[in-house]
Amino acid sequence: MMWKPLEITPAEAGADASAEGLGGYLDGLAGLGDLLTEHKALVFRGFGVTPATLEPVMDRLLPNRLAYVHGNSPRTKVGANVYTSTEYPPEFTISMHNELSYAAHWPERLLFFCEIAAETGGATPVVDAQLWLELLDEEVRQAFAAGVRYTQNLHDGLGLGKSWQETFESQDKAEVEAFLTGSGATWEWTPDGLRVSQVRPATVKHPVTGAEVWFNQSDQWHPAALGDETAKALAEILALEELPQSVTFADGTPIPAEYVLQVRDRALEAAVDVDWLAGDLLLIDNVLVGHGRRPYTGSRRVLVAMSD
C-alpha cells in the first residue's frame, strides 16, 4: 500500500469543527510527536481554521517556532516566524526537497496552512524520503556518498537571487559571520556581497526511527534544474562559480546533469499530492518527508512555519 499522510477530520478526532475543537483535540493528544513519526505527515481538514484563529493551533503544533534564517526560497515574513510558503512563479513546479537540508541546522517539523486554495492545481506534493533514496540508481547513491558542496553568492542589495541581508534576516555583518562560523561554513565578503560555501551530507538518519533518507538539495541548486534555455542564458553571462547558488560533489568535482535530473524526477513521480482546501493544515516531519509544489492558476496563499 502506497504511503500517504494521515488525514484527521473533526469526526475522526471526536471534536468540534472549529479551531477551538482542533486545539482541544491536540491538548488531549498524548503523543503528537509519536503520531507524526509514525505517519510522517498529518493533514488536519474540516476544522475551519482561519488566519485569525491560526496562532493558538500553531503554538500547539510547533512548540518552538524558528526564523527562516539561511533560507534560499523567495518568501515574505507575515507574522511571528510565519512566512508565505514561496513566491516562486505559479506556472512552475517546485521539485521535492527537505527544508534547509543544505544548512547545518534544519527544522524538525514544518506546518503549512492554506488560507486561499488555488483555482486549479497548487497541490503540495509530499514524498517519503526513505523511498526517495531507495528509488535512486546504485550508481547515483554511491556517487553522492561523500556528500555535496553548496556555494551561494549573496548580493548586497542588487543582483540575481536573494541578498545576504534577506537570507540571514540581518543587516549586521558580525552577526552573519557568527552564524556562519557556528554552521561550519566558509565565507568571504566580496565587492558585490557575500560568498558562502559548505559541505553537507547527501543523506541523514532520522533521530528516532534510524531510517536513512535522501536529504540534500543538489537537484535544486544545479544548473540542469533550471531548464535548458534558462541555464544557457545564465551560462552566457555568469561562470558557474558566479551563479547565485551552485552545487558540486564534496571534493569540488561537477555533478552530472543526468544524476540530478534522476533525483528530481523520481521524487516527483513517487510523490503524493495534498490538494488544498481553505483552512487545511499539513504538518510534516522534515526529515522523513520531502515536499514541493505543483503549478497552479488563480490566487493561492499557503503559509508556512517551522519548529525544532
Q: What 3-state DSSP class applies to 150? A: strand
Residue from 51, 54, 70 nearest 62 by CA = 54
Task: Please check whether residues 171 and 210 belong to one and the same domain.
Answer: yes
Check residue 82 and give its pLDDT.
81
Check residue 1 and give its pLDDT.
72
The answer to the question of residue 80 being in a domain is: yes
Task: Please check whether residues 122 and 233 belong to one and the same domain.
Answer: no
Model pLDDT for residues 61-98, shown as the tens digit of each residue: 998 888 776 555 555 666 667 887 767 789 989 999 99
Check residue 228 and give its pLDDT.
56
Instruction: Please name the residues in contact with 84: beta carbons below 8 A apart, sequence gap of 6 or more.
Output: 75, 76, 78, 301, 302, 303, 304
The answer to the question of residue 302 being in a domain is: yes
Check residue 76 and give its pLDDT.
65
Q: What 3-state DSSP class applies to 153? A: strand
Model pLDDT for residues 128-180, shown as the tens digit of each residue: 999 999 999 999 999 999 999 999 999 998 887 889 998 998 999 999 999 99
Task: Please check whether residues 144 and 217 belong to one and the same domain.
Answer: yes
What domain range is 159 assigned to? Answer: 132-265
| Mean pLDDT value across residues 238-253 | 85
Beta strands in 82-147 (DSSP E): 82-84, 94-97, 109-116, 120-121, 124-128
pLDDT over threshold 60, residue 235: no
Cα-based distances in Å from 34 to 39, 42, 92, 183, 269: 9, 12, 35, 29, 28
pLDDT over threshold 60, residue 219: yes
Check residue 81 and give its pLDDT.
75
The answer to the question of residue 1 being in a domain is: no
Residue from 83, 51, 3 nearest 288 by CA = 3
